Amino acid sequence: MGSRRKWIQLAVLAALIIVLPFFFPSSYYYRVGALIFVNALAVVGMVILIGYAGQISLGHAGFAGIGAYACALAPEYLGLHPGLALILGAVTSGVLALLIGRPILRLKGYYLGVATLGFGILVSMVLTNERALTGGPDGMSVADPGLRGMLRDLGWRLSVGELWYGVSAIALLIGAWVALNLFDSPTGRAMRALHGSEVAASTVGVDVARQKLRAFVISALYASVSGSLLALQNGFITPDVAGFMHSIEMVTMAVLGGVGSVLGGTLGAAILTTLPQVLTIFAEYEQLVLGAVMILVMIFLPQGLLPSIARRFRGRDE
Amino acid sequence: MKFTSSTAVIALMAAAMPFAAQAEIRLGASVSATGPAAFLGDPEAKTIEMMVEEINASGGINGEQIALTLYDDGGDPNKARTFATRLVEDDEVVAIIGGSTTGTTMSILDVAQEEGIPFISLAGAISIIDPVREYVFKTPHTDRMACEKIFADMQARDISRIGLISGTDGFGASMQAECKEVAGDSGIEIVADETYGPQDADMTPQLTRIRNTGDVQAVLNAGFGQGPAIVTRNYAQLGFEIPLYQSHGVASNAFIDLVGAEAAEGVRLPGTALLIADQLSEDDPQYQVTTDYTALYRAKYSDEPSTFAGYAHDAVLLMADAIARAGSTDPDDIRDALEATSGFVGTTGTYTFSPEDHLGLDLSAFRMLEINDGDWTQLD
Amino acid sequence: MDALLQFIFSGMTVGAVYALVALGFTIIYNASDVVNFAQGEFVMLGGMITVFTYMAGVPLPLAAVLAIVATAAVGVALNKLAIEPARGAPVVSLIIITIGASILIRGAAQLIFDKQLHRFPAFSGDAPLRVMGATILPQSLWVIGGAILVFVGLWLFFTRTLTGKAVLATANNRVAAQLVGINTNWVMTLSFGLSAAIGAFAGVLVTPITLVSYDIGVGLALKGFAGAMLGGMGNPKGALVGGLLLGLLEAMTAGYLSSQYKDAVAFIVILAVLFVMPHGLFGSKSVERV
């Protein structure tokens, strides 16, 4: 992928982010948009882990949980500003990913799956059980980072929805930019080499363990920041954010949209985030439809939505 | 996909607009009809729909029909917040009912407070109404009240040392914390404190631990769903001879069916009048409301309404009553009327709201029940 | 002492439930390298269909057989409609398909049945058996016996029957299997049918103990998956031992340490085992998957 392609992708993303609000009939749509971007940020991390490096994780919601609760706990107990708490959460997630990554990433396939699953469950269990600290399953409030007030002082009046639409969009753009740069970097190429074949990658001199660990830590950072942003915009957080279903959701969004592609992952996040909103009229059938969509996409577009569609278009061009 | 569907909805709405203009009251609801809290939310959703239909069939409120928008948040606080935003911003409702769990309630109440929309929650935690929030009310008893009711009954039986076993779900954990907090004031000492996961299949290890703690005089199980049914069956299996107390979380006939009359014999729990509607005497203040509602629910869904369904019933009627008295559909007027509610008889109890009290129930609304021969006996 | 025995009984009961779910994973995994995340839904279907046919007046044994047959049919349909058309897709896509199937089956179950908890009577009554001061329900013996029965059946199937060997051959190398005349499509159909039937059988056995509702599948699949991985995926012995071990670990932790962190201890042990033995207790080293 040349650097032109990278900028085209970023431009498409930015254009969508800017143009879409002109079609929003109410500020509720900003909320949905913000959720899409926050989910997409975590999914871009999964694209790096699964799509670039070929590793699976069924426990990344654990990192999202750490990011989210950092933003809830640090302001309350350490008096830290919520914005700094986000960084603290990311550092914690990164260090933790570094520590557990080395032994865990020696495992392959489903064994890696169950190990990461175990990690995610441990995090959500601590958040659920340490009620005195975290409020337990009922959750806890997250302090307002005061961004709205700050912007108001600068003469910029934004609604809650608009504010978080903007913040999440910027976070996603930065995340996408980093991921796209990584793709073309020597590190990215090394990661992608081990996706193809670890044996082959190691024979051409790729430090397999190190590249896997890198992808794991980077994706953990993405998940953590995504969790933090979710906590900050919701103002309230429960252990669900670290739950198994959230981990599965991340993987599904990534795979559905196209696991090797940043834009594809974003598309996957957009579809799975809006689906429940679109299906409210048939709420009873929501799970039925969601399951069917997942199956049908994987049967007919096994590479995920975006890459499959792109391939079809390219095929026509040539 | 999103756009085509929303355009379709807008087109539909535009078509319907001339007829419905003004003459409708937009009521919003977000409950957990699916997901881990479906046990609570499913009968709540059914009840909200049924009661709104009832009100509309009998001419609406002040001649205006209620237009209900009901969402299923699946028990996910994140979704609940999105739906609350949608209700306020997109559906432009004037009042919200819902929040089956404490987590979803906390998400919704933020939006309600921010936008100034009256909201009646269906969840248990005391933190919802303490401190009082301007726009937030709730219909269920607090978990603390359930603990106090149970402890009072224990004291009357000279029980002072108990074992506590709770589910790790929101309901169980909240009640566990509340009971531990008020135990001292009620002269109860919790000498064993065990938990189980909401989907666990066997609780005999925890119960064995409680039994081996020494002179435990009774066991209290805080939880809802399958856990308490399994605890009760394990209790019988282990041959405990001390009394077992359950919480209002399992106050339903389904509980007795699941456990079996034999294992459930002698279990005590605080319940609402709704559960014993068939046994109430005609001069009981709650006789009319509970029998009417039970008959309606049975006729429509051929099932028994649960205590949780009763919370939703009361919430709808409280809101309808407030809107009728407010004589307007302005959210602030509705809120003021709601706060002025006095002596409103519901299935759960008699509500009297005030600026200091947004729950408006006292302990008298709880009735101590005991299971005998597979049926409920009222003790007080 | 009687406490220890009680913990063991509890652990065996719960462990046998996990083992039954774990055993259900093995056939499909052996035939296709796919961990079928809809396995928990098969268990749920076994329980729910039995409950509803039983409530409709069908005698319990017949209701159970009907449930197993119907669930096996769902398994075959899953293979025909979702797995076979996706032939050649990467394994991660197949995982998403089975997760999708699990969501779909759950969604259908809540529409067809209901969202309430259900139970039917235990096969041999509820009178507990007393052994040295500890108690166990007769139904627990049914579950433990069922797990052992399925294990022996599977073991014989894979080692003694031509069909079982054909399943293993298909997993090893589909093209080679076809070349030696194995109808691999038929093997896949059979695998899904059998796995679903085992799941439903588990559902029938455990419902009197665990109760059943439309959404119990996820939790069961999670624990069954963990048990299977602990033992080594694909190996019936691993599934049985892994499942039982997981149950015993939970019961011991709840009994002696803390009931709050019993699941945590279970997962920590799994992690520790996998660090030392990356393919589980009985997993083979030769196969590299995903």
User: Does B150 lie in the same domain as B137?
Assistant: no
Per-residue pLDDT band at A2 (split at 50, 70, 90): low
AA identity, residue A259: V
Write out the residues of chain B at the interface with chain A, using a CB-CB cutoff of 8 A.
1-3, 5-6, 9-10, 33-34, 71-72, 74, 76-79, 81-83, 85-86, 88-90, 101-103, 106-107, 110, 114, 125, 127, 168-170, 173-174, 177, 195
Rounded mean pLDDT, C246-259:
91
- H or E, element range at B53: helix B38-57
User: Does B316 lie in the same domain as B258?
Assistant: no
User: Does B255 lie in the same domain as B181?
Assistant: yes
DSSP string, chain C: -HHHHHHHHHHHHHHHHHHHHHHHHHHHHHHHS---TTHHHHHHHHHHHHHHHHHTT--HHHHHHHHHHHHHHHHHHHIIIIIGGGTT--HHHHHHHHHHHHHHHHHHHHHHS-SS-B----TT-SPPEEETTEEE-HHHHHHHHHHHHHHHHHHHHHHH-HHHHHHHHHHH-HHHHHHTT--HHHHHHHHHHHHHHHHHHHHHHHHHHH-B-TT-HHHHHHHHHHHHHHH-TT-HHHHHHHHHHHHHHHHHIIIII-STTHHHHHHHHHHHHHHHSTTTTT--SS----
Instruction: Reply yes or no on whether the pLDDT at C277 is more than 50.
Output: yes
Assess if residue B282 is contained within a domain. no
Report the residue of chain A nearest C283, measured CA to CA.
A111
Rounded mean pLDDT, A64-90:
94
pLDDT in tens, B188-244: 999 999 999 888 889 999 999 999 888 899 999 998 888 999 999 999 999 999 999
User: Does B310 lie in the same domain as B162?
Assistant: no
Q: Class assignment of domain C2-276?
A: mainly alpha
Cα gap B346→C290, rounded to integer Å: 58
Q: How far is CA C82 from the centre of its chain?
A: 20
User: Does B326 lie in the same domain as B310?
Assistant: yes
User: Does B64 lie in the same domain as B211?
Assistant: no
Q: b/e map of B275-308 (b: 16 or more CB within 10 Å)?
A: bbbeebeeeeebeebbbebbebbeeeeeebbbbb
**CB distance B179 to B126 below 8 Å:** no
**CB distance B287 to B281 below 8 Å:** yes
Query: pLDDT > 70: what percent of chain C?
Result: 97
**CB distance B233 to B256 below 8 Å:** no
CATH number of the domain within which B47 lies: 3.40.50.2300
Tokens 């994987």 sit on residue: A298
Instruction: Reply yes or no on whether the pLDDT at C287 is more than 70.
Output: no
Per-residue pLDDT band at C264 (split at 50, 70, 90): confident
Contacts of C11 in chain B (CB under 8 A): 205
Rounded mean pLDDT, C124-135:
88
**CB distance A46 to A264 below 8 Å:** no
Cα gap B103→A10, rounded to integer Å: 37
**CB distance C6 to B204 below 8 Å:** yes
What ipTM was reported for this prediction?
0.88
pLDDT in tens, B16-30: 444 444 568 999 999
Residue C253 confidence (pLDDT): 92
Residue A38 in tokens:
């926050």
User: Does B132 lie in the same domain as B21?
Assistant: yes
Residue C65 confidence (pLDDT): 96
- Cα distances (Å, whole numbers) of residue A25 to A162, B7, B14, B91, C109: 13, 10, 14, 11, 36
Assess if residue B99 is contained within a domain. yes
Assess if residue B64 is contained within a domain. yes
Instruction: Reply yes or no on whether the pLDDT at A311 is more than 60.
Output: yes
SS3 A236: strand
Q: Which residues of chain B carry a pLDDT beneath 70?
A: 1-23
Sheet holding B218-222, edge to edge: B189-196, B161-167, B218-222, B244-246, B268-271, B367-372, B375-378
Rounded mean pLDDT, A268-295:
86
**CB distance B51 to B27 below 8 Å:** no
Task: Report pTM.
Answer: 0.89
Domain locations along chain C: 2-276
Per-residue pLDDT band at A204 (split at 50, 70, 90): confident
Per-residue pLDDT band at C289 (split at 50, 70, 90): very low
User: Does B370 lie in the same domain as B251?
Assistant: yes
> Which of A107, A110, A117 would best serve as a mutation to test chain C binding (most C beta carbons within 10 A)?
A110
User: Which value, to the nearest 10 degrees, does the dihedral of the CA atoms of residues B33, B38, B39, B45 take?
Assistant: 0
- For residue C270, the distance in angstroms to the closest alpha carbon of chain B comes to 19
**Cβ–Cβ gap B262/C126 under 8 Å:** yes
Contacts of B170 in chain A (CB under 8 A): 136-138
Q: CB burial class (10 A; 0-12, 13-18, 19+) of residue C168?
A: middle
Per-residue pLDDT band at C173 (split at 50, 70, 90): confident
Contacts of B83 in chain A (CB under 8 A): 280
Cα gap C209→C187, rounded to integer Å: 34
Residue A315 confidence (pLDDT): 62
Cα gap B153→A75, rounded to integer Å: 42
SS3 B245: strand
Instruction: Reply yes or no on whether the pLDDT at C197 is more than 90.
Output: yes
Q: Which residue has the higher pLDDT, C93 or C206?
A: C206
Rounded mean pLDDT, A281-296:
84
Residue A240, C-beta contacts closer than 8 angstroms, at least 6 positions apart: A246, B76, B77, B78, B103
Instruction: Reply yes or no on whether the pLDDT at C1 is more than 70.
Output: no
Per-residue pLDDT band at C288 (split at 50, 70, 90): very low
Cis peptide before B131 (omega within 30 of 0): yes
Q: How many helices (H) and strands (E) does chain A have?
A: 15, 2
Instruction: Reply yes or no on whether the pLDDT at C268 is more than 80.
Output: yes
User: Does B131 lie in the same domain as B249?
Assistant: no
User: Does B136 lie in the same domain as B153?
Assistant: no
Enclosing domain of residue B255: 144-277+366-378
Residue B3 confidence (pLDDT): 41
The number of folded domains in chain B is 2
Which of B242, B265, B127, B156 has its CA nearest to residue B191? B242
AA identity, residue B39: F
Cα gap B275→B271, rounded to integer Å: 7
**CB distance A62 to A122 below 8 Å:** yes
Per-residue pLDDT band at C63 (split at 50, 70, 90): very high
User: Does B225 lie in the same domain as B372?
Assistant: yes
Residue C285 confidence (pLDDT): 52
Residue B70 confidence (pLDDT): 94
> Which of A134, A236, A237, A289 would best serve as a mutation to test chain B binding (most B beta carbons within 10 A)?
A236
Tokens 């779909």 sit on residue: C104
User: Does B360 lie in the same domain as B241?
Assistant: no
Assess if residue B24 is contained within a domain. yes
Which of A272, A257, A268 has its CA nearest to residue A304? A257
Residue B54, C-beta contacts closer than 8 angstroms, at least 6 positions apart: B296
Lowest-confidence segment of A25-39, C102-116, C168-182 by average pLDDT: C168-182
**Cβ–Cβ gap A136/B102 under 8 Å:** no
Q: How far is CA B342 from the centre of its chain?
A: 20
**Cβ–Cβ gap A106/C94 under 8 Å:** no
Per-residue pLDDT band at A49 (split at 50, 70, 90): very high
Residue A309 in tokens:
């569609």
Cα gap A208→A198, rounded to integer Å: 7
pLDDT in tens, B30-54: 999 888 888 889 999 999 999 999 9
**Cβ–Cβ gap A236/B81 under 8 Å:** yes
Summary mean pLDDT of chain A? 89
Which of A220, A193, A216 has its CA nearest to residue A102? A216
**CB distance C97 to A294 below 8 Å:** yes
Contacts of B127 in chain A (CB under 8 A): 138
